Structure 1
Amino acid sequence: MDNHLILPAFYLPPVSYFRAIQSASLPILIEQYEHYPKQTYRTRAAIYSANGKLDLIVPVQRGHKGHTKMKDVKISYEWNWQRLHWMSLQTAYRSSAYFEYYEDEFLPFYQQKFEWLLDYNVTQLELLLRLLKIERSVGYTESYRQDYAPNVDFRTSIHPKRLNHTGAARPYYQVFENKHGFLADLSIVDLLFNHGPQSKGYL
């Protein structure tokens, strides 16, 4: 398995996630047997709003007892978070160069109800890889394993509260940078909506 990249299933993953994918021409295995960790990119994406960084959070149903495997985490629809997320994306990126070019690709994620968080995130990942023109096969782990080689295991290194994974992020144009400056390692959609087909070259 050390000839695969071991990645968590993130919601609209950050730029550093795709930089990790680009760093090695290896097929991807998505970790589905880890115990679901709270407050990570598995349920949150950071975008650039007019007021600065904005976290979009996907609510999940609470398990009854013990730890829940990632593959068993269900999305909650107790409130209409999809509408809020889509309105936030529109408000943040309507004036960007490529939002209208891509919006029909992303709209179904805010209209259809996915039952499982893993399916939702991986379906998004496959779309993002296609839009970025990154050719990688995507599979799933068959069991939980702790001892992958550090250079292929990204399950814990890319985290909202850990900034060291971003490296020396080269600034790129962002819609509201004149207000708040460049914000590094936002969701990949920030790069995609601002730079379109040039995004892969930035990575």
Structure 2
Amino acid sequence: MSRILMHPTYFPDIISFAHLAQYEVVWEVQDHYQKQTYRNRTYIATDQGRQMLNIPIKHVGGSQGRQDYRAVRLENSYPWQRQHWRGLQTAYRTSPFFEFYEDDLLPLFEKDFTYLMDLNLETTRVLCDCLQLDFPEEKTTRWEAAPEGIIDGRKLVNAKAAFPVEIPEYRQVFMERHGFIQNLSTLDLLFNLGPEAPSYLDELKLSHRDA
């Protein structure tokens, strides 16, 4: 199995999770934090269409320069966890498998996390458990701009980038209203396909160019 370098993200999108299912992932943990990425956001399908769930973080002053991703703290004075859980309940309570997985997911919204990276790794770990996939444990020990001997999948973290991967249509809760919405959080796939989701991820056609 080929190895791929990826950033930990918040409830990763379907394309990212397909890479996790099909490759041996090494987590990039030595990088700087960047805005406009999936590090602190994910997208779900609601009755209003595609909706972002955004995690507030504590921003450091400009004099401190760029912040290490590992050091980014969550802004927990705002009840974002409660808001995100309510958003998921509202969006997916009529989906075929929300009730089946909600007891596995709810603790993520009740536990206190200090660091964004720790939260992201834990959301991915829980999703792996739900999908019966092995969670990747290997992490980088130093930053490399051009790593050798591994596929560089770090650009998958860019929330504004478009990747040439065809996401085959599957049943979504609000399809009649909004049509099929591409590449949402893997939560959307889990709640709508349930036990069929791992096969869907395995069969998604990826190539090295996609990473």
What is the CA-CA distance between 1:151 and the residue it aligns to? 6.6
The alpha carbon displacement at 1:174 in A equals 0.2
* SS of residue in 1 equivalent to 2:43: strand
Q: Is the 8 A contact 1:15 1:186 kept in 2?
A: yes
Cα deviation, residue 121, structure 1: 0.5
Structure 2 SS opposite 1:85:
helix
Cα 1:11–1:150 change in 2 (3 A) is farther
Matched, 1:192 2:190: yes
Q: How does 1:72-111 map to 2 (within 5 A)?
A: 72-111=71-110
Contact 1:16 1:158 (8 Å CA) reproduced: no
| Matched-pair contact (CA < 8 Å) for 2:6–2:156 | no
- Per-residue deviation, 1:108: 1.2
For 1:30-109, what aligned pairs fall within 5 Å after superposition? 30-64=27-61, 65-109=64-108
Deviations, residues 40-76 of structure 1 (Å, cap 9, x unaligned):
1000000000000000001111123201111111111
Q: Which runs of 5+ in 1 are unaligned?
A: none
- Residue 50 of structure 2 aligns to a residue whose secondary structure is strand
Give the corresponding residue for 2:200: 202
- Alignment match of 1:168 (pick from 156, 161, 166): 166
Structure 2 distance, partners of 1:185, 1:171, is 10
Deviation at 1:136, TM superposition (A): 4.5
> How many residue pairs get matched?
199
Cα–Cα, structure 1 residues 137 and 160, in superposed 2: closer, same or farther, change >3 Å?
A: closer
Q: Which runs of 4+ in 1 moved over 4 A?
A: none
| Counterpart amino acid of residue 22 in structure 2 | S
Name the CA shift for 1:148/1:155 in 2 (closer, same or farther; >3 Å): same
Counterpart mapping for 1:151-162 below 5 A: 152-162=151-161
* Amino acid of the structure 2 residue aligned with 1:77: N
Gaps of 5+ in 2: 202-211
Alpha-carbon distance between aligned partners in 1 of 2:129 and 2:27, rounded to the nearest angstrom: 17
Q: Distance in 1 between matches of 2:168 and 2:149?
A: 24
Match of 2:147 in 1: 148
Percent identity between the two aligned chains: 33
Which deviates the most, 13-22 or 91-100? 13-22
* Distance in 2 of aligned mates of 1:81 and 1:109: 12
Counterpart of 1:181 (choices 179, 182, 191) is 179
* TM-score, L = length of structure 2: 0.89
User: What is the CA-CA distance between 1:163 and the residue it aligns to?
Assistant: 1.8
Does structure 1 residue 29 correspond to structure 2 residue 26?
A: yes
Q: TM-score scaled by structure 1? A: 0.92
Task: Single out whichever of 13-22 and 94-103 deviates more from structure 2.
Answer: 13-22
- In the superposition, relative to structure 1, how do residues 201 and 22 fare at CA in structure 2: closer, same or farther (>3 Å)? same
Partners of 1:32 and 1:71 within 8 A in 2: yes
Q: Structure 1: how far apart are the matches of 2:108 and 2:135?
A: 22
Q: CA deviation at 1:4?
A: 3.2
The code of the aligned residue for 1:35 comes to: H
